[in-house]
Each structure stands twice: as structure tokens, then as C-alpha cells.
Structure 1
Amino acid sequence: MKNNLSKIALFLLLGAILYSCSLVKRVPEGQHLLIENTVMVDGKKEKSETILNQLYQKPNSSILGYRLRLQMYNLARKSPEADYQLWLEKNPKRHKFLADLLSEKQVQRLGQSFFVSGASTFLKKTGEPPVIIDSTKVQKSRNRLLSYYFNAGYFNNKITYKIDTLADKRGKVSYDIKLGTPYIIDSISTSIKTEALDSLFQRTKNQSLIVKNKQYNSQDFIDERKRIATHFRNNGAYYFQETNIEYDVDTVATNHKAHVDILIDDRTIKKGDSLVKVPFKLYTISEVNIFTGNTHNKSKQKVADSVSYNNFNIYSSDKLKYKPKALTDAVFITKGSKFSDFRRQLTSRSLSNLRVFNYPNIEYEEDKNDSTGTSLIANIILSPRKKFTFNATADFMHSNIQDFGILGSAAVSIRNLFRGAEILEIALRGNIGSSRDLANPNNVFFNISEYGADVKLSFPRIFFPLNTDKIIPKNTLPTTQMSIGLSRQQNIGLDKESFTGILNYNWNPKRNTNIRLDLVNLQYVRNVNPGNYFSVYHSSYDRLNSLAHVYNTNPGNMDAEGNLTIPDGTTNFTNEVLGGQTSLTQNDGDYFAIRSIEERRIRLTENNLILATNVTYTKSSRTNINDNDFYTFKTKLESAGNMLSLISKLEKQEEDIYGRKKFFNVEYSQYLKGEVDFIKNWDLGGKQVIAARAFTGLAIPYGNSNSIPFSRSYFGGGSNDNRAWQSYSLGPGRSGGLNDFNEANFKIALSAEYRFNIFNKLNGAFFADAGNIWNVFDNVTDEESVFEGFKSLQDIALGTGIGFRYDLNFFVIRLDVGFKTYNPAKEMKERWFRDIVPNRAVLNIGINYPF
């Protein structure tokens, strides 16, 4: 054993030496590889990414300390084509042989091939050249740090640096910063020449970002300039710009006090050959013109139709095709209101939201009929999109159930259907796919198919009998959608036919906040082949079949090999057990097991009628697609069956033998469901991000139901959940996923990822997923599946792994490998780390990030 340890230690030592030497392979003699920057601020080490980003040189990037891209660069040959020529010159016979075989031209082109130079080119392009310490760049870094701290109020800061050269052509750079005493804003005064602007400034003076007794920071001055300009331009100052604001900061002999004077001069205009100063004016909108049709300009000479409506003038180059209200409801620039950038931006968003026009053009011009010169005419130019649009798509897809699928659709859109900017969309869709989780007796690759049709009608307003403007104002950009859909699914299993009908409303009370209300969400699902249940759910059949070998007394239930036939044998055997025709009694555990199998069969093969209402609230702090420091909060509340329950009571419907009521001979579902989903990203800089997600959901059946419909229940595992388990294979609880498709009505899911860039568009991630599903408040009584309070939290599964993601700009291809780190299905002493072996890894292929 000692001898083995010595060999391992020697191997590790040799590896470390070789790694260390390879780092400086491309570092010239007399120069040094930068391995570390140290910034000391008043004796304390500064680790802030903001400060370190001020430096012009940073050490080569690393992944957990390993400088992969530098090593890749070092693997490349310096001049592969020159090496190739030397190789030919060393052996003229070899050169002649190749020339005779290929021709001299081909021999020369071989030097440019991937095998000779392509690999090195790829390694150089993908890798990173060594960062050589450059004293000029070190000096520039010092100057940038000086400027950074100066802008933060440390006007007298002092910075020195030191370059430490180490053995083996390595080096470190340290910066020592003495901040000194910061300057504090002591007094603030204003000098605003235009009286109207001074009056506006005084209204929001208490919102100023330049505050007395606050440390000087140049960013506050930049932000305050934006705040003042925005406030002025939203209150009529059409010609005002940020550049009209200047600051005079006095710090001379003030004992580290800064006296700030905010200066806003009058407007400069050209009068003849001279520049003169005139006061800024606050403009009022005197006229709003909306131009539509086939015109791209505001020429009234080309108008064929016009109408005045609610103080708006609407012009069209041909017959007006829009109801005036449909256009004016989307315009927030109104006659008699002050000029406002905010109203212009809101109008632009609202008109774009109609989806019947291209991006609008909004222009202003001074009203020449106003003798005071304080009026503006707003011209809104709208270019209609095509009334009919046909779109056909084909796509590849991956989901928690479908390993691979091909999706195709054909859709036609009809815009401005009723002249109110409504949009009718009619779509046909079809999809074939492959799933390892479904029964596939003939081993067919495409064992899933689905086809259907959808019709959706969209209104750019709240479509409701009562006026909702006070509750949901127009500036929240409300929309209404009515949709119906029909589909049929074939998966060599139960097969399903479904009908959906949805009436929903969407609006945005704030820029990054969305509310969706599904007033009506109707779903009817019919199982076409319920008799095929045991051909699909193999685990249920295997358990029932093994019990039949012990308790079955009817030979007619079995085939020639002694197994239950499907469906007659399974049905007869279950009925015989539950009817008391076998030796099993209700006190036997196997009787309970057979009854549970039958209850699950009935639940998963029964037709579902769900009439629900739900509301979803979403809030995000993300500003754009490149923002990697944000949060998203989403919560949803859904109630189903209450309307049907009320109708059944009014009609005094009778209950069936199970105490259930039906509509159209189908039991309707009744439940209450709530979900909370929170995602947070932290940007660490250098293309490194930590992302975390917390989700919990609970659906409680009541009234006409004692369980949740399969389509509304929760499952665990899969590429967007716990990636160490396959879809539907985790839980419930510690039961071990005995069924083919395990689901329950309570779920907890927690995930965290450390994301980093490997090179170019290839990114990596280390992840940990925790969570499980349980049954609670329903008809499941199995202790291993039921949530029993805090003690059930020990059944939370943990999966860890590594992922690779390739960014194609418009979407990300994701490959994740997960390992069962803590498996609650095993005995307590065997739960940790027993499955972290390659042959038990779970491979997940996904599109885009998991959360």
C-alpha cells in the first residue's frame, strides 16, 4: 500500500512539474507570464470585479485553476507550414515520391491542410496566447485606477505599483492604493436661466441624486443629468438635451468639501449668421395626425379618406380600413397635453403591440398657426403590414417526454379582421417523435405522433361586456385572446384526443411586470385505447402479473406462458380479487397493492374534464438579453371545477355510486393549485454566472375529486428538472419510482449552476439539482409516497453533474450529465454517493438553459 502511495505521489508531482513548465512554453526569454494581479486599498486586498476590470492586463483565463485556453494555445505549433517545408527538404526522395503520387501543386497544398496546419490554427484561434507582463500597460492600469477613484471622490489618491519577477519566467503585479480623505458634497446651488425650467426643477428637487453630505461620485452627476433632462422633456421641453446641463464643482481650499453649482443656460439658436440665446419653451400638443394606408409620409395631398375622432385626425391614402377607436386607443399623445418623451415611447410600444403595423414613425413640427410659438403638431406615420400572412415551419424538438421530435406546422394569419386591429390565426400542426419511456413492442424509432389544429383570435384590448379601463388602463397594453384547439396523439399506448378552449387576458402594469388571467381554461381529454393501459405501463403490469402467479385461480386469465393476458386477463383478475373471489382479503397487503394498481389504472385511463380559472403574475428585473444579473419571480393560482359544481347544484344533479357528479357523462375535476417560481442570476464577470432556482407547487383536490388530473400533476426528473433522474422516474417520496410515469400533487425543486466559458461559443456548467414530488391531501395512502411534514424533507433527492452548452446565438444546444448523489429510494446508509459511477449517469439533451 505504501509503495502504491509513493507511486501516486510521484505521478502527481511529475504531472504538476510538466503542467508548470508547459504554461511558459511560449513565453520568450527575459519576459514573464502574468500569473496574478494584486490590488491593495489602504492595506486591504481588493477582490471586486469592478476594480479588477480597470486593469489592462489580466492573467490567462482558467477553469477551477486550470488554464485550459493557454494550454491549447501552447499545444499549437508556431509555424506548421514552415515545419512542413523543412520536413520535405530533409528527405528529397520523400518529396519526389509525394510529388509523383499527388503532383507538386497538391504537395504544397497539403501543407495548408487541417492535418498539417489546420489543427494548429484551430488551437491558436480557440486558445489564448500567454499574457506577458507589459510595463506600459501596467502604467496605463495605474492611471485608470487613479481616474476611477478620482471619480469616486478621492481626489488626492496615490497609487504605486510593483512588478515581481519569479522563477520559471513568471511574474506578479501589485498595486498599492492610498485613497486619502474623500470629498463630501457640502453645498448645492442652481443657476437656471429659463424660468419655466427652474419651476420644473423645483418640483422634483427632493429627487435629486446629488445630495448634501454624500460622498462625491461622478456617476451621480451623470445620472442626475439624465434625470433632469428626462423630467424636462416629459413636461414640454421639446428642444432640451442633456448637453444643456453643466456642473461647476469647487474643491479649492475647501477642506475636502465640494461646492456644486448646477448650471442650465438658455437655448442657443442660429439667427442669420449669429448664435443667440433664447429661453426654452414648454410645448403643448395642438394637433395629432395619424397617417395610415399605403403612404410612408405625412403628405395630405395624397389623402383619399380622412376622419376626425376624439381630437385625432386620421388620414389614409386609400379607403380607411381601421375603426378610428382601434387606432386612437393605442395613441397616448393627445391634443392639449404637454410634449412628453414618455408618451411618445408608450405610443410607439402600443402601436407595435397591435401587430398590424410596421414600427411606427412619430414626428413633431412646430404649429405655425400658434402665434406664441409653444405648440407642436404630432404626426404618427403607420405603415400597414400585409393583411394575409402564410407561414410554414419545421423544427427539431426535445422535451421531458420526447427524446427527439420533428415538428411541422402551417399557419395563416389574417390581420385587422373586423377593422379593429384584431388578428385571426389558423394553424395546422403535426409532430413525430421518439421516446425511450413509452412502450415500443416493434422497436419503432418514431413511436410518438400528434396532429391537431388551433384557431386563435387576438384583440388589442380587454374584450369584456363591462368597461375595465379603471381597473386595467390602456397604458398597461392589454390584450385578449380566444383560442380553441383540437389534437389527437398516438404513442403506441392509450392514445388521446383533446379539446381545449381558452379565454385569457394579458397586461403589463409596469415595464417588467406581466399579469395573465385565464378567465376560462377548458380542457377535455379522451383516452382512445384505455384497454391498452398495461401495454404502456410495464411496471404496473409486472407487479400485477407477479401477484397473479400466486393468487390467480382462473386459467382463462393467463396465456400459454402463464402470464396475464391484456386486457381481458388483467381486468378479470383484478375484478376477481376486489370481488372477493380469491383467497385475498381486505386485510392482506397484496390485496391493497392490487387495489392501488387498479385505482391508478382507472385514474390514468379515465377521461378528464377540466374547467379552470387561473391568474399568473410575473416580474423580472432583466433589462436585456445580455443582462446576466437579474431575478425573475413568477406565481400562479388556479381553481378548477367551481363553476361546474355550481351548475350541478342548481340543476340538482345526482351523484354516481362513487359520490361523483358528471357533465356529458364525464366526471369533472375540482381542485385548487398554487405555484411559486423564483430564479436569480449573479454575474461574476469574465463570462461566469451563478444561477439558482427555487420552485414549489401544490394542487389540492376537493369536492368532486380526490386526485389531480394527470395533465395538472407534477413529476420529477428530466432535462429541466433534476437531471440525475429521467423524466417521471423520481419519487413520489422515497418510493423509488415504481411506476412508468410517476406523478404527484406536491413538488419542491431547487437548482443551482455555476456557468463559465470554455472557449468561444462553448460554455460549461457545474450543477446541483435537489427536490422531489409527494402526494398530499389526496387518495394516496402509501407512507413512502406521502408528504408527512418536515421529516419528509429527508426524501429530497440530490443530483449533481456537469454540462456543456454551445451558443448558436438564436438558441443554445445543451448536454448535461447528471449523477444521483443522494438517492432517497435507497436505505438510509446507502443513499449518499452510491450512484456516482459512469454507467449510472443520466444524459440529458436540451434546448436553451434549464432555467
Structure 2
Amino acid sequence: MKKKKGVAMKIKHLLGCSMGALLIASCNPTKYVADNEKFYKEGDVVIHNDTIPEERKEQFETFLEESLLPKPNSKFLGMYWKVGLWNMGGGPDTTNNFIRKWLKKQGQEPVLLSDVNREYNQNLLRGKMENLGFFTARVTSDTLIDGKMATVRYDAFPGPIYRINEIHFDVDSTKKLGKSIVGTKEGTLLRPGSNYNLDVILNERDRIDNRLKEQGYYYFSPDNILLEVDSTIGNNKVNMYVTVKPETPAQAKEPQYIGNVYIFPDWKETSSTNRRRVPRNTEKYDDKYYIVDPQNKYRKKVLANHIFLQPGDLYNRWNHNQTINHLVNLNAFKFVKNDFVDSKDSTNHLDVYYYLTPMERKSIRLELVGKTAAVYNGTEVNANWTLKNAFKGFETLTLSVFGGYETQTGGNVNLNSSYIRYGAEVGITWPRLLSPYKWAPGKQYIPKTFLKAGYEFLNRRTAYTLNSMTLNYGYAWKENLQKDHNLTLAEIIYVQPRGISDEYRAQMDTVPTLRHIVDPQFSFGPNYIYTFTNSMENKKHTFYAKAGLNTSGNILGLIQGADYNSGKIKNIFGTPYSQFIKAEADLRHYMKITANSTLASRVMIGTSYSYGNSRSLPYLKQYYTGGPNGLRSFRARAVGPGSSLPENIGEDNFFADQTGDLKLELNTEYRAKIAGMLHWAAFIDAGNVWLQNEDPNKPGGKFSKAFLSELAVGGGLGLRLDLDFLILRTDFAIPFRVPYRPKDDRWVFKYIDIRERDWRRDNLIFNLAIGYPF
């Protein structure tokens, strides 16, 4: 024991010395700076202009400072820690030492004053200001020396800003191109009264070009547009003239039409030296497309449905891009390439060639997953087999088999100490809507029809076994980039318990909640999910909203006159079916505070109404809270319902799952970057679940007007490691408010004692997860 303690002390001493060395090295970034050199701290821009408000002036100064070169060395909490790593690596020493080489690679070499070209930066700042309408801007600079450190100060004098007076589309509207350009005038980005801005001018050229591409001008380019500026009219105003450059090629001034369309769905780069050679016996499909598929690997009708450029039509960029997007999202082609070439048959016509390189038709993926949660550890194996273009119509057939084992490795063993689960799922997805009605949600995205069937066997060994079967059939489609729809026409869930042990039955008598887990379950009915998000947009405020409606057995229950309360319980296949309506919503708001910090908030609301053949939701459909993605200061499924006391069925805080028919959860989290891949967060969570009806075994569990006083509250701190392809998250959380305590003693701040071992064991929750909680 003493030996282990000694080793631990040595490790702590080594870590302490390392951190101390890094701190000392960081505090002295000039250690390896030569006597005739200075360490470059930063470039400081000061704007001299009384007409710019103070808060705008600070933003403007920051904007200009970000363009200065070279960039100063990175700092954290005032320390040049990357320079410190470089110093620890020996600085300019070229000794071939692995540790030193690694430290230098992680660090940064000091940026020196001699690396700064003041004249270049002055011209750069002046150009930036001129691009924003400050045509008379000037910049001076000076170097401020403080020992071995140097700062370069840039004094910027923007002068008055020039604003737009008038915009003229100076083109010949009697000609086809001029008429088309004038037709884009209504949506112009150039507004009288706005300041001159080069970025807006460049965006205006792109806007005009995009509009022309929708009208057939395939060969036209934004560079063919000239925006002339007259700044001599006085009063700090400019007139702007949109014109076409005289040297614009004649072909760019004429709209183009689609000629022949050739599709090679089985293209291989080595299959032909002549990319445009079409076999003589190739016939047009539907009098539109030449589809070169001699082995008939694809159904021509399905392929043609995803081509939006038709012979004789005016070229249209939207149709062009839609065709590419559809071909890529068919999930059958590794590469999608296309060529537009001048047609030999007609002037101002383009022949179109699509070269589609297929993916491997069959694939298999094997996954081995390790899992840990509280005192439980286990592993799971997943094998997934995929067959693309299963029936020549771009269908995707999948077969998944899985198996896993989990066991309790800490605390006292109980009836739920381990389990084995295995099962399989087979599914097929069609890239279209299989419906008797001719309905299409739009051309922009490919709608899908899905059919999935699955089976799972769960063996709790000394407790019970469960056989679960599921069947899902429905549609998924995207309305636009922000809106998704998922309509499951039929969702069938059948769960049948077997082999319930005498020991588990005895526990069921003591803890009635355990009975609900092994109730036979049979639910069937449609469900719908709507999702909206604009979180991919670069805005200060973005949102995510997900709402769902789930039903089961409603029509059948009405027909059969099912009534749980009067004992008229109806069965299917010998099992009572569930009858309920369930609605839920997940609403999130993200506020960007700075470039490296965000405030994220979430509200989750779930409600349900069970009637007829049911008194409550089936176990698999019930709500719960707690755990790494919810109320993080409480263990998963260990809160509620309401103010009822969790039923402890073992030592070491092992509780029966606490579930309910209604749910409310509130979360807010401040996220910020520390340095590089390392981020941190501070968060507060609140929430609970409730029952629809009174349960004598769960006093205080029914939803009531006092629900706000029954919210569990907690908070904590966390670290995140952003690896680009995934985020590794750790959270440490403690409860602030415990709903099952006496009503006047639910806030537990006064009981917090982080130094006391028993308190930490019972209240400090550690969560390890992948990805953000919301």
C-alpha cells in the first residue's frame, strides 16, 4: 500500500513539475529571442473618426486587426502557452530528441517584430476601408517597444463614408441579354442610401448571373458584368451603373437549349477511350434520353425520373443542380460527372453527358462497441449487410444482426445484474413514394418509402426474458433544407415476456413498478414527426424544433367498445393492445455570444392520453428523464414520477426505472472554447415525469397544478474534446433540488459537502458521452 502511495506521489510531483515548467516557459516567451530582435505581441488598430458610434468603432477595429499579418502567437489566460511548449522543446536547438521534437511540433515559434511589414499592413488596412466606402482613408503606424516585447500601432483615419445615390442598369434592353438583365433589377442588393461595399457589389454580380442561368445563359459569367462607380457627384455620394463588359463573348449573350441527353449508368473510367461514344443500337427512352445500359442493371423509368434536363428545354441551372443532387442521393453511384458540349446538330444547343460510376453493390460492416454506465459494463457486436439497387430500381436492402452482454461490476449484485440481448432487423428503402395517390412533395429532394421488421430477445437471466417484434412502414421526405417529415403509416410493437422467475415475482410484490416492465405490450397505429432547423446557418440566433404525434389502437378500441376501468379489456393474439394518443415537442435555441462561445437552451414537453383499453402508456412508450442527455445530475430513469420516492431495490443507489405519461424538461448550457480542440461548458437542467392517473404505489406521481414545485433541478461543469468527426463529452453534475424530499426542504444547497466521501458517492454524477446533449 505504501509503495502504491509512493508511486502516486511521484506521478503527482512529475505532473506538478511539468505544469510548473510550462508555466515558467509561457511567462518568458522571449527566452530564445535574439538580442537584436523583439517579440511581436500584437498589432493594435485605433480608428480616428467621431462619426462612428463607440460600440461600432470597437467592432471595426477588431475587424481590421484580424486582417493584419503575421498573426501573433496564441495566448490563453494571458500566457503564451504554445511558445512555452516550443521553449520546452529546446527552442532553436536542433537536437534529435523525440520528446523535444514533439513539444516543438505542438508549440509555436515566437513571432518577431522583423516579421512584420508595416507598409504592407498599412496598404491592407486602407484597402479594407476603401472596400467599405471610405474612399479617402489613410493609415499611419508606429512601433511601441517595452523591453523585449513590441506592439505595432496602426492609426486609421477612415474619413467620410460614401453612400449610394442612384443605381442604373445601363444595358441595351432592346436586345435579349439586356432585357434579361433589366428583368433582374427588382431583386437588386444595391440600395440607395446604403454605403458602398465591395462585397455587396460582388454578391450583386453573382445574383444577376444566377438569375441569367435560370434563363438559359449557360456561358455567361459574373466576370462579364461591370459595375462602374461615379464618385465625383459630390456630397459623399456615388452613382452606380450596371453594364456588360464589351469583350463579353457572343456565345455568352445567347441562351442555350438542351440537345441530346446521354446517360452512362455503368461507367468505368477504363471502359472506353472515347467518353462520348454511344453504341449505334442505343434507342431513346421515352423519346427523351439515350441510356447506355446494355446489361440492364437499372430500370430506365426509375433512372429517367431523376433527370430534370429534357431535350428542347431552355438550359436551367436549378434543373442542372437538381439532377446532380438526385443522382448523388440515390446512394448507388460512387462518382457522378457530367459534361455539356456544343451540339453538332443545332446552334445554341448543348448535348449533355452523365457518367455514373456505381458503388459496390454489396457491403458488410462489423462494429464492436464497449459500453459503460454507472456500475454496469458490457459490449455489443453489430453486423450490417447492405445490398444496393436490390431490384434494379435503386432500392437499398439492409440486414442487421446484433448481440450484446452487460453485467454489473460494482455494488451488490441484484436480479438485474446482467443481461444478454440479441436480434435482427431487415429493412428496405425505395427512393420514391409507393402510394396509390399521385402525390409528390417536390423535386428538390428524393422522398423515400421504408419498410422495416425486427426481432429482439432480451434475457435478464435470473429475472425474466422478453421477446420483442416490430414492424414499420411509412414515408420520409424533405420539404426544403430546413423542414423534414416522417410519416409512419403503420408501427406495430409486440412484446411478450417469458420465464419470469420466482425471485423477480417476489420483487414485483415489493416494488410494483417492476411489474410494468414485464407487462405484455401490443401497440399499433400511425405516427408522424416534423423537424425544423436552421442551425446550419451563420446567424446569432438559430433554432431546432421537433414535434411528433403517436397513436395506437384508437379506431379498433372504439369499434370493440374497450374499457379498462369497467374490465372490458380487449385482446389481439391473446395480448391486450394499447390505446393512446401521445404528443411531444423538442424545442432548442442557440445564441452565438462570440465566435467561440454559445448559449444553448432546450425545452422538452411530452404528453399523452391513455383511454379505452389502457390506463397508461405501455412501458416502451413512456417518458423518463435523467442520464447524460437529459437531467445530468440524476442517474438515467431515476427521477419521478412527480414527488414520489424512487423505489430502491438494491444497495448502491440501484433504483427501478422511474417512468411516466407526461414529461417536462428544461436545459440551458453555456459552451465556450478553451484552446484548440478543448472546450468547456456550464449547465443547469430541470425536469420530471408524471402519471396520467393516480397510482397507489406512486403517491405524488400524478400530474397536478403543483407540477412546477416537483421539478428536479441540477447543474454542473463539463469538458468537451472536439475531434471534428466526433465530440467526446464529460460532465460532472450535482442535484440542486430533489422533488421527493419534503416540500419545504427540496432545495439541497445547504447539504452540499464536496469534501465528504458519502455525499460525493450519492450526489456527484459523472457522465461520459459522445456528442452534445442537445
Partner of 2:325: 349
Distance in 2 (CA, whole Å) between partners of 1:570 and 1:403 is 21
Hey, what's the Cα distance between the residues in 2 that align with 1:292 and 1:405? 45
Equivalent in 223, 226, 230 of residue 246 of structure 1: 226
In structure 2, the gaps of 5 or more residues are 1-18, 648-654
Which residue does 1:308 correspond to in 2? 284
Q: Does 1:291 align with 2:260?
A: no
Determine which of 426, 436, 442 is the counterpart of 1:455: 426
Return the offset for 1:249.
0.9
What does residue 811 of structure 1 align with? 726
Alpha carbons 2:451, 2:474 under 8 Å: kept: yes
Q: 1:228, CA displacement in angstroms?
A: 0.9
**CA-CA distance at 1:783 after TM superposition:** 6.3
Cα 1:397–1:181, aligned 2, differ >3 Å: closer, same or farther? Answer: farther
Aligned equivalents of 2:123, 2:751: Cα separation in 1 = 55
* Contact 2:276 2:353 (8 Å CA) reproduced: no
Q: 1:783 to 1:428 in 2, by over 3 A?
A: closer
AA partner of residue 429 (structure 1): F
1:590 corresponds to? none
In structure 2, relative to structure 1, the CA distance for the partners of 1:648 and 1:737 (3 Å cut) is closer
SS in 1 for 2:206: helix
Match of residue 199, structure 1, among 154, 179, 183: 179
What amino acid sits opposite 2:625 in the alignment?
G
State the AA in 2 paired with 1:186.
Answer: N
Query: Equivalences for 1:729-768 in 2 at 5 Å?
Result: 729-735=638-644, 737-738=646-647, 739-744=655-660, 745-759=662-676, 761=677, 763-768=678-683
2:181 match: secondary structure: helix
Distance in 2 between the 1:494 and 1:401 partners?
A: 22
How far has the Cα of 1:399 moved from its partner? 7.7
Residue 356 of structure 2 is matched in structure 1 by: 382
Q: Secondary structure at the match of 1:229?
A: helix
Tell me what 1:209 maps to.
189
Question: Which residue of structure 2 aligns with residue 85 of structure 1?
Answer: none
Query: What CA distance in whole angstroms lies between the structure 2 residues aligned with 1:423 and 1:614?
Result: 23
Q: How does 1:426-825 map to 2 (within 5 A)?
A: 426-434=399-407, 440-441=413-414, 447-469=418-440, 472-492=441-461, 493-531=463-501, 566-567=503-504, 569=506, 574=509, 597-598=511-512, 600-623=513-536, 631-641=542-552, 644-651=553-560, 658-681=567-590, 687-735=596-644, 737-738=646-647, 739-744=655-660, 745-759=662-676, 761=677, 763-780=678-695, 784-789=700-705, 792=708, 795-805=711-721, 807=723, 809-825=724-740
Distance 1:301 1:164, change over 3 A: closer
Do the aligned partners of residues 123 and 382 (structure 1) sit closer, same or farther apart at CA in structure 2, a change above 3 Å counting? Answer: closer
Confirm whether residue 843 of structure 1 aligns to residue 739 of structure 2: no
Cα deviation, residue 347, structure 1: 0.6
Q: 1:670, 1:704 within 8 Å by CA — same for their partners in 2?
A: yes
- SS of corresponding position for 1:362: strand
In the aligned structure 2, how far is the partner of 1:230 from the partner of 1:315? Answer: 30
**SS state at 2:328 partner:** helix
Deviates more, 1:657-666 or 1:240-249: 657-666
1:746 Cα deviation after fit: 0.8
Q: Residue 309 of structure 2: which of 333, 343, 348 is its match?
A: 333
* SS, match of residue 603 in structure 1: helix
CA contact (8 A) 2:534 2:544 kept: no
Q: Provide the residue aligned with 1:6 in structure 2.
A: none
Q: Distance in 1 between matches of 2:318 and 2:766?
A: 49
Alpha-carbon shift at residue 611 of structure 1 (Å): 1.5
35-44 or 720-729, which moves further after superposition?
35-44
- SS of the aligned residue for 1:330 comes to coil
With the length of structure 1 as denominator, give the TM-score of the two structures.
0.76
CA distance in 2 between counterparts of 1:68 and 1:834 reads 41
For the pair shown, the structure with the greater C-alpha radius of gyration is 1
CA 1:31/1:415 → structure 2, altered by over 3 Å: closer, same or farther? closer
Residue 648 of structure 1 and its aligned partner are, at CA, apart by 4.1
Per the alignment, do residues 264 and 694 of structure 1 end up closer, same or farther by CA in structure 2, a change over 3 Å counting? Answer: farther
* One-letter identity of the residue aligned with 1:454: E
Conservation of the 8 A alpha-carbon contact between 1:210 and 1:220: yes
Offset from partner CA, 1:550-574 (integer Å, 9 cap, x none):
xxxxxxxxxxxxxxxx256557xx5
Provide TM-score, normalisation by structure 2. Answer: 0.83
Once residues 818 and 748 of structure 1 are traced to their aligned partners in structure 2, the CA distance between those partners, rounded to angstroms, is 16
Q: How many residues align?
A: 724
- 2:113 paired with 1:148: no
Q: Which segments of 5 or more consecutive residues in structure 1 lack a partner in the other structure? A: 1-14, 83-110, 270-276, 533-565, 575-593
The letter of the residue matching 1:377 is D
- In the other structure, the counterpart of 1:8 is none
Residues 178, 512 of structure 1: alpha-carbon distance in 2 compared, 3 angstrom cutoff:
same
RMSD of Structure 2 on Structure 1 (CA): 3.8
CA deviation digits over 1:486-521, x for unaligned, max 9? 111234443322111111211122134322211222
Contact 2:29–2:83 (CA<8 Å) still a contact in 1? no
Cα distance in 1 for partners of 2:227, 2:276 equals 46
Distance change in 2, residues 1:819/1:331 (3 Å): same
Matches of 1:443 and 1:75, distance apart in 2: 55
Offset, 1:61: 4.3
Q: What is the Cα deviation at residue 349 of structure 1?
A: 1.1
Go from structure 1 to structure 2 and tell me whether the alpha carbon gap of 1:697 and 1:147 turns closer, same or farther (over 3 Å shift). Answer: farther
Which of 90, 110, 133 is matched with 1:78 structurally? 90
Write out per-residue CA displacement over residues 239-259 of structure 1, whole angstroms, 9 at most, x where no aligned residue. 111211122111135221111
Q: Secondary structure at the match of 2:556?
A: helix
Identity %: 19
The answer (yes or no) to whether the contact 1:303–1:318 under 8 Å persists in 2 is no
Distance in structure 1 (CA, Å) of the matches to 2:186 and 2:217? 20
Contact 1:824/1:831, CA 8 A, preserved across alignment: no
For 1:148, the aligned partner's letter is K
2:353 counterpart SS class? strand
Shift of 1:263: 1.8
Distance 1:397-1:568 versus aligned 2 partners, 3 A rule: closer
Structure 1 residue 207, shift from structure 2 partner? 0.5
